[in-house]
Structure 1
Amino acid sequence: MALHIVFLQLCVGILALPIHILAFLGLWHPVIKKILPYLLEKATRFYNKRMREHKIGLFSNLGDFKGSAGELALLEIGCGTGANFQFYPRGCKVTCVDPNPNFKKYLSKSLAESDHVEFQSFLVASGDNMSQVDDASVDVAVCTLVLCSVHNVEGLLTEVLRVLRPGGAFYFLEHVAANASSWTYFVQKILDPTWKYIGDGCRLTKETWKYLENAKFSEVKLRHIQAPYKWSPVRPHVIGFAVK
């Protein structure tokens, strides 16, 4: 790695020294697990406002994947505060999975604002080990702004393929690494070592689209977009869905 990048990473690390010390002592993880839901509850409202049209477009064909009974069983992986509920079709049955149990109390507000969905349950589990979800039991799985913080992306996608029924779909919207020759990527590289602590494992330079393209889906419809806000290290996104 170039010395100037290492130097700038060190400068950012010094500015965030208390966080790095707590992480080194093993004390940061429990702290961020508790405060992140509060922070995301605020941040996702801003994100949904800016990304509203993209989300509406992404989820516009969810109804095409209803099961044989005419119902839509939807599994949201890394549900967070329930920021996607408002975009789901009426009557869909939603099961939520998240490794952070502190998100559960924040879901109630999203559910109150989205009474058109039928909430099933909240399962505390990581995306790469969803043993509580039966094989081929869901029509659609959804993952937004989650894969950036998942260590075992291949394992999560393997689990997605397991729980999806044949012909089911996996919907995704993720921020990703920018073009390696861009200023955005330069900034991502500088911030990444500290950002992972602030975002509870979130990595700015992850090339998430490669995992999606290499997974064993029968079809992947993926496109790269730029989120509509300037000067942000999380502006580059991939959006789309993949069919089992």
Structure 2
Amino acid sequence: MPGLGVLLLRACLALLAMPIYLLSFLGFWQPFCRKVFFPFVLEKISAIHERKAKKMKQELFRNLVDFKSPSGELKLLEIGTGCGMNFQFYPPGCKVTCTDINPNFEQTLSRNMAKNQHVHYERFLVAPGEDLHQVPSASVDVVICTLVLCSVHNVNGTLKEALRVLRPGGAFYFLEHVADSPSSWKYFWQQVCYPTWKLIFDGCCLTRETWKNLEQASFSELKLQHISIALPWTPVRPHIMGYAVK
């Protein structure tokens, strides 16, 4: 249960964001957020995050080719493709299936596809991470998920679907922001911002301990490290990155 200080500061933040809470209550905020606000803001935030995380992503994705299928192909499925910021890191000739719950990233996504012609784009599916029924079981070599597990409705369900669509020996790659240490001031401010942040940023949760979900999932091997990526003027700093093998 959050302390009194957290609750009081949450109330102050909610007052500042009262127009958004009112629009949400009336049922107008989420359609506007998903169609206009979030695609616009995500493009700006993604560009900043990309500058901060580029070297880390290069390190993360450097061994993608190790998970080619016996036929020599590399089939990737990306959960929550968003603006397509990861395409630049994918190996030449790989086949990519893009998925996202929000179909309104088309303009930026098309731009990044055009800039990354070394990748073969197979299809785009409008689907949540917890329900990838359009993708056959054991049909992809790699599943990629970056800055997505913070906003899915069910982290364990998403990991279960990733395991299902991966072939045996395939890998799940992740880079996610997570909760800070409970004893830190950063965690205090994550708790303060949590309800309003989640409303404004389409379900993004600041205090998920996603590494625990990964540790408890049925992967045969897990390579995970805790890192720090600072986004200015936000409570988003602690991240985890790595990959897990089916």
Gaps in structure 2 of 5+ consecutive residues: none
Which residue, out of 158, 165, 168, partners 1:166? 168
Per-residue CA deviation, residues 76-104 of structure 1 (Å, 9 max, x unaligned), is 00000101000111111110010111123
Separation (CA, whole Å) in 2 of partners of 1:229 and 1:205: 16
1:15 aligns with 2:21: no
Superposition map of 1:65-104 within 5 A: 65-104=67-106
**Cα RMSD for the two superposed structures:** 1.1
1:177 is matched with 179
Structure 1 window deviating more from structure 2 (56-65 vs 103-112): it is: 103-112
Matches within 5 A, 1:232-243: 232-243=234-245
Looking at structure 2, the residues matched to 232 and 93 of structure 1 have their Cα atoms a distance apart, in angstroms, of 35
Q: What is the rounded CA distance, in whole Å, between the counterparts of 1:47 and 1:225 in structure 2?
A: 13
In structure 2, the CA distance between the partners of 1:107 and 1:27, relative to structure 1 (3 Å rule), is same
- The amino acid that maps onto 2:218 is K
- Give 1:21's aligned amino acid: L
Matches within 5 A, 1:116-127: 116-127=118-129
Residue in 1 that maps onto 2:147: 145
> Over residues 138-197 of structure 1, what are the superposed CA-to-partner deviations in whole Å (9 max), with x where a residue is unaligned?
000000000000111111111000000000000000000000011110110000010001
Matched with 1:29 is 30
Distance in 2, matches of 1:201 and 1:50, equals 23
Q: Which residue of 2 aligns with 1:186?
A: 188
The 8 Å contact of residues 79 and 143 in structure 2, kept in 1 or not, is answered as: yes
Q: 1:47 deviation in Å?
A: 1.1
> Does the aligned pair in 2 maintain the 1:51–1:228 contact within 8 Å?
no
Aligned to 1:157: 159
Question: Taking structure 1 as reference, are residues 80 and 229 closer, same or farther at Cα in structure 2, changes over 3 Å only?
Answer: closer
Q: What secondary structure is seen at the aligned counterpart in 1 of 2:197?
A: helix
Preserved contact between residue 230 and residue 236 of structure 2 (Cα < 8 Å): no
Alpha-carbon separation, structure 2, partners of 1:10 and 1:179: 23
Which residue, 198, 205, 209 being the options, matches 2:207? 205
- The partner residue of 1:113 within 106, 112, 115 is 115
Q: What is the CA–CA distance in structure 2 between the aligned matches of 1:69 and 1:6, rounded to whole Å?
A: 56
Give the AA of the match of 2:129.
G
Residue 231 (structure 1) shift: 5.6
Give the corresponding residue for 1:59: 61
Residue aligned with 2:150, SS = helix
* TM superposition score normalised by structure 2: 0.97
Give me the identity figure in percent: 58
TM-score normalised to structure 1 length? 0.97
Structure 1 residue 198: Cα displacement = 1.5
Residue type of the partner of 2:34? K
CA distance in structure 1 between the aligned counterparts of 2:95 and 2:206, rounded to whole angstroms: 32
Between the aligned partners of 1:121 and 1:37, the Cα distance in structure 2 is 20
Aligned with 2:77: secondary structure?
A: strand
Question: 1:230 offset after TM fit, Å?
Answer: 5.8
Equivalent residue letter for 1:140? V
2:52 aligned partner: 50
Contact kept? 2:48, 2:231, Cα under 8 Å: no
Q: Which digits, 9 at most, give the CA deviation of each residue in 1:216-237, with x for residues without a partner? A: 1011111111114566311000
What displacement does 1:105 show? 3.2
